[in-house]
Each structure stands twice: as C-alpha cells, then as structure tokens.
C-alpha cells in the first residue's frame, strides 16, 4: 500500500485499480494513513488529485499519520493550484482540522497568504469561526505572527450567517471579541505586540476594551507593563480615550480572578467534553452551575458542548441543569440551534430525545429549530422533529399558510385540498381543530365546494366586469398621449376643486337663502311678527309651502350631481397619476369630501357612502392593475386617522363660528 500511495499519473491509478478493485477501500478503512491523494496534493499533481477525489471523496478529509490532510500538505508545499482545485471540489475543506486543530485558513493566516485568504473566505465565510486547540482564530494567529495585512483581509471580508439570518455586525463583533485559551482577545494581543494600526482598527470596530484575560489583566494593563517604547504611549492614549480601565478600577468582585480561571477551566472542559473535569470544578464550587444559570443570556457549558458535538458531556450537563437547554446566549441561540448550525445531527437527536419540546424553543427573530430545519430543507430531521413533537406541526402549517396563501386550495395527487386533509385527520386528532381554523381563515375550502373547470371551458368563458375594467384601464393608458393626459388632469383638477368648494359653501335656495337659514325660517318669521317687523328674506305666504318640496329636491339633486362629478374627477386623476398616489392623495381627499358632504347634508348620508364604496372599488381595480397592495390597517392608521382628525377640527371651528 505504501507503493500504491506514490502514484504519478491517472494511468498508474487505474492500473492499480485493475489489479485490486478494493485498493482504495483498503486505504479508507485505516483511520490515519498516507493515501494516494496525500501524495498527489504534496507534489501538486492537479489532474491526479481531481481524479482521486472523484473516486474517493472521503480521502480529502482523511489525516495521515502526522495529522495532516491533503489540503494541509498542498499548503505546506506551496501547491496553490492544487489547493484551489480542492476547495473548488468541496469548499468545506477550508474547515478541515489537522494537527493541533489547525485548519487551512489558520495556515494561510500564519503565512500571510492574502490571495488564499480571500479565496477561502469567499467560498467558506464561516471558516473564520474555527479555533485551534489553543482557542486561536485566524485573526489571533495573524496578530501573533505580525501579519497586519492578513488581519486586514480577514476583517475586510465579513461573513454572513446563512439560515437564521444573523446580522453581520453582531456576528463580526462576536469574532472580534473572542478569547483564546489564555483568555486573550485580539485587543490583548495587539497591545502586547505594540500594533498601533490594529489597535486603532479594533477600537473603530467598538470591541470590548475592558476584557480580562486569565491573568486578570485588561489591554490597558498590558500596555502599562512596558513603557520603554514610544508606541506604547500612543496605544495607552487611544485606549484611555476609548474608556479603557485598569483591572483594579473595574467594578468586579474581589475573587474575580479565581472566578475567571474557573470559568476558563469550565469552558475548556466543555470544549474537550471532559466530564471528569466538570465534576472536579463542581466539587470546588457546588454553586458553579447555579451562578451561570442566574445570567439571563450567556454561553453555558451546554452551548459549548452542543457546538463542539460532545454528546456525553452535553447530556450530563442537561441532566444536572435542564434549564440550560432553553437558555439563549448573547446572540439569541439555544444549544439546539448551535448544534444545528454545526450540523451535529446525533447531538440534535439526543437532545430532543431528552426533551422533545426543544423543537419549539424560539431563538433569534423567533426562529425555532423546526423553522431552521424547514428552511434548510433537511427532510430527515424535519420528519424526526415532527414525529418527536407533533404539536410543532402548527408552526409549519402557519409558516406555509402565510407564504403560500395563493395555493391554499391546491389539490394533491388524490384530488384533496388542504381543508380535506385537515378534516380527515380531525376525526382522530382533536388538536387539528386549530389547524382547521387556520386554514379556513386563509381561504381554504373543501374540494367538493370548489368548481372544477376544464382549461377549454375556462378559455371559452367571457370576461368578467372586473377584467373588462382592467383591460379598459390598460388600453387607455397605452393609447393616450402625454398632451391628452395633461389636458385631462387639468380639467379633472378644476372639476374636483369646484365640487369640493361647492361642498364647503352651503348652497342657496330659490329665494336666495342659505340652506342653514331655511331651517330657522319659521322661528325668524315668528319673531318678526311679534316685533311688528317684516323680514323680507323669508316669505310667510303659502307660496313657501308650495316651493319647499321643490327646493328640497333641487338641493338634493345638486348635492348628488356634485358627488358624482367629484367621484369621476378623482377617478380620472387617480388613473392618470403615477402608481402609488391613490393612498397618499386620492383616497384621503375623497374620504374628506364625503365626510364634509355628510356633515353639511345629513340627508345624503346613504348616497355619500354608496359613492364612497364605488370609488373604493374603482381604486381597488386600479391598485390591482398597477400591482400595488396594501393592508386595511395601513389605511385606517395612516389615511383615515389624519382625515378624521382634521374633519373633527373643521366641524368644531364651524360650530364655534356659527352665532
């Protein structure tokens, strides 16, 4: 097998396969071995590398006896083309850990290879999260090796978390504030290396400036330890300007150093999955887990174990502190979320075996593990989640109903709609009653109540009045010229102005009296007779009784014609204005007009609301034609609210002005 690992070309590979068809499987059964892919990657044989990885993809992640994968060997020997070919085949190879937990990204960061760093981050952004056995990220490694440009490349390419929609800013801040096994942040390392440019950059990113390392020192303490260089004074000034403090000035407890070291040891135990170390810490401090539980948002040992995939440690922690399973960290994720993000399937299944309701625990933005699995399209886990927690199906249905409302009455291969399926299961499962209400509210109907129309019959049917109106609007918008449109708008605006003014100014009857005066004619006439005075404006003869019904009819016809003219003018204006003006201009003005008409002539209340309804329907058609959709709640809050407020003010002013 040692000779078989040293192949030179593709022909030699297939010659070896012909001699022993199981030769590659023999390599694959050994956990640590130098495979033909290792030798091809070391020598830079791109063609042979591509062929071997196609036949045996598992070779790409297999470590040799020295703990290096083919990707590591290609990097160590400067075989850039082979490296690019490998990540082109599988981008996740950037995250393969080798000796001491070092990934290809860590290696490129240590070498300061800017080209490969950009390539690695572009194909696998989440690789920036990976840490070595010492807890160093690629950023820590770059600063420790004075690779300032590499650090700038790493921070210039912000990764985006896929699946739970986590904000890039929060994500980057978590990476920039991460600590290694010594408790040192990037700011600790930058100050210890006197990297002025990096310190300034980190302060601009608003990183935590008063973090304590395992020795209980802040970045400012580290700067003050050595004042022999002028750059230390510059760094000190920058830190103090940003609000940095010495450890002794921080408002922490006297035994903070011991607590920090205990927390660090607990974190190390969780990352290593060491249950014995966990119990040693509990023996030293029986309230250790209780102290963590008192913090509302924190990375518990269960979070760490879930993200690392240490099942036994996670189950032990969950047995000791069940509340940790539902606790969210500072970024809004529970342990099950982290296990899903890191694709630790066995960890996920064991957690829901202990507590099936973890499937429904809401994390950041209300996303549950069930939502995450459904979004990722992991059918196997989705089925297991639904089987473990049938109640969670309501979340899936609610998600589907909200996003596929237009397909709520679609039929399956058995000609059943969603409502048919709900009613079928409702016979044996009472919890489906809520599903029934949910589907019905979304417009779901039984298949028997839906009309089954063939395509030919559908095409033979005539156009509905609504479609005719849509075609009319569409054809008229295409045929009219700009000059005609401008002329129509001018005329429509003049008509709308005149009709609105007519509604504001009370009309006069045949005798020249205002409508408000007619109502008080009898009282005024009686007063005039008692004072032996004759008011010439109000006839007291029987002729007034004769003309009274005529005046009322004429006044009503005038108001009705005024409403019709205003409605048509507003519809013309709405049709010829750019899309979106209906909610901001036409509809509020129409509502104000009809409220005004209603207030001045209560007799026309019914007619006003009839025309308001007609105008609303026409606006619906116009909005549908222009593909504009808005909710009634927005109308009430943003449109009717201000209109009613101004109308109320107008009526109060009018009442105050009347004698």
Write out pLDDT tens, residues 202-259.
Answer: 988 888 888 888 888 899 888 888 665 656 788 888 888 888 888 887 764 444 444 4
Most confident of the following: 285-294, 398-407, 427-436: 285-294
pLDDT value for 116: 93
pLDDT value for 18: 87
Tokens representing 166 are 């986590």
> Average pLDDT for residues 348-353, to the nearest whole number?
90
Residue 142's pLDDT band (boundaries 50, 70, 90)? very high
pLDDT value for 156: 76
C-beta separation of 148 from 109 below 8 A: no
Residue 174's pLDDT band (boundaries 50, 70, 90)? confident
Residue 614's pLDDT band (boundaries 50, 70, 90)? low
Tokens representing 618 are 């026409």
pLDDT value for 31: 85
CATH superfamily of 271-403: Ankyrin repeat-containing domain (1.25.40.20)
Q: Is 109 helix (H, G, I), strand (E, B) or coil?
A: helix
Q: Is 436 left (phi over 0), alpha (psi -120 to 50) or beta?
A: alpha
Pinpoint the alpha helices (H) of 463-604: 465-479, 482-504, 515-518, 521-530, 542-576, 581, 587-600
Q: Specify the higher pLDDT residue, 209 or 503.
A: 209
Most confident of the following: 83-97, 361-375, 539-553, 626-640: 83-97
Q: How far apart are CA 116 and CA 84, in angstroms?
A: 8
> Average pLDDT for residues 401-408, to the nearest whole number?
67
Sign of the Cα pseudo-torsion (354, 355, 359, 361, in order): negative
Q: How far apart are CA 637 and CA 639, in angstroms?
A: 6
Residue bearing tokens 């040992």: 301
Q: How far apart are CA 268 and CA 279, in angstroms?
A: 13
Q: Specify the higher pLDDT residue, 568 or 270.
A: 270
pLDDT value for 290: 86
């Amino acid at each position: 097998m040692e000779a078989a690992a040293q192949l030179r070309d593709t022909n030699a590979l297939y010659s070896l396969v012909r001699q022993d068809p199981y030769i590659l499987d023999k390599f694959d059964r050994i956990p640590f071995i130098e495979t033909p892919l290792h030798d091809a990657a070391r020598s830079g044989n791109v063609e042979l590398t591509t062929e071997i990885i196609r036949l045996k993809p598992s070779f790409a992640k297999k470590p040799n006896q020295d703990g290096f994968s083919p990707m590591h060997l290609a990097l160590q020997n400067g075989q850039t083309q082979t490296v690019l070919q490998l990540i082109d085949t599988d981008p996740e190879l950037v995250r393969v850990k080798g000796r001491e937990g070092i990934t290809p990204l860590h290696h490129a960061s240590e070498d300061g290879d800017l080209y490969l760093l950009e390539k690695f981050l572009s194909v696998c952004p989440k690789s920036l999260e990976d840490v070595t056995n010492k807890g160093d990220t690629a950023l820590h490694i770059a600063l420790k090796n004075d690779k300032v440009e590499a650090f700038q490349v790493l921070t210039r390419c912000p990764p985006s978390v896929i699946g739970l929609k986590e904000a890039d800013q929060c994500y980057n801040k978590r990476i920039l504030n991460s600590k290694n096994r010594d408790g040192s942040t990037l700011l600790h390392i930058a100050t210890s290396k006197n990297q002025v440019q990096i310190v300034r950059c980190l302060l601009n990113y608003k990183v935590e400036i008063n973090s304590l390392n395992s020795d209980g020192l802040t970045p400012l303490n580290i700067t003050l330890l050595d004042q022999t260089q002028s750059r230390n004074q510059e760094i000190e000034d920058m830190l103090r300007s940003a609000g940095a403090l010495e450890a002794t000035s921080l408002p922490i407890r006297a035994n903070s150093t011991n607590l920090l070291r205990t927390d660090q040891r607990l974190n190390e135990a969780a990352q290593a999955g060491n249950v014995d170390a966990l119990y040693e810490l509990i023996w030293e401090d029986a309230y250790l887990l209780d102290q963590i539980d008192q913090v509302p948002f924190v990375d518990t040992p269960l979070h760490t174990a879930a993200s690392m995939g240490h099942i036994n440690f996670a189950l032990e922690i969950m047995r000791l502190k069940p509340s940790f399973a539902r606790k969210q960290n500072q970024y809004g994720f529970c342990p099950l979320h982290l296990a899903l993000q890191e694709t630790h399937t066995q960890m996920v299944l064991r957690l829901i075996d202990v507590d099936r309701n973890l499937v429904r625990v809401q994390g950041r933005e209300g996303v549950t593990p069930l939502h995450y699995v459904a979004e990722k399209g992991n059918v196997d886990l989705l089925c297991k989640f639904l089987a473990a927690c049938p109640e969670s199906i309501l979340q899936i249905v609610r998600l589907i109903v909200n996003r596929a409302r237009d397909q709520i009455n679609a039929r399956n291969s058995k000609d059943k709609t969603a409502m048919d399926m709900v009613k079928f299961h409702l016979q044996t499962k009472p919890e489906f009653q809520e599903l029934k209400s949910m589907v019905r509210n979304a417009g779901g109907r039984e298949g028997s109540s839906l009309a089954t129309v063939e395509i030919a019959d559908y095409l033979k049917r005539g156009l509905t009045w609504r479609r005719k109106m849509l075609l009319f609007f569409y054809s008229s918008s295409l045929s009219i010229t700009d000059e005609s449109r401008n002329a129509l708008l001018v005329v429509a605006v003049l008509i709308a102005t005149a009709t609105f003014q007519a509604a504001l100014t009370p009309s006069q009857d045949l005798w020249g009296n205002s409508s408000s005066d007619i109502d008080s004619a009898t009282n005024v006439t009686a007063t005039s007779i008692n004072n032996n005075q004759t008011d010439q404006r109000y006839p007291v003869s029987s002729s007034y009784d004769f003309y009274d019904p005529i005046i009322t009819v004429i006044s009503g016809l005038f108001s009705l014609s005024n409403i019709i003219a205003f409605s048509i003018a507003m519809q013309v204006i709405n049709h010829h204005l750019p899309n979106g003006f209906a909610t901001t201009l036409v509809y509020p003005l129409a509502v104000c007009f009809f409220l005004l008409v209603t207030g001045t002539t209560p007799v026309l209340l019914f007619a006003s609301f009839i025309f308001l309804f007609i105008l609303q329907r026409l606006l619906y058609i116009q909005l549908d034609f222009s593909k504009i959709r808005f909710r009634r709640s927005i109308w009430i809050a943003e449109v009717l609210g201000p209109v009613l407020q101004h109308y109320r003010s107008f009526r109060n002013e009018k009442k105050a002005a009347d004698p």
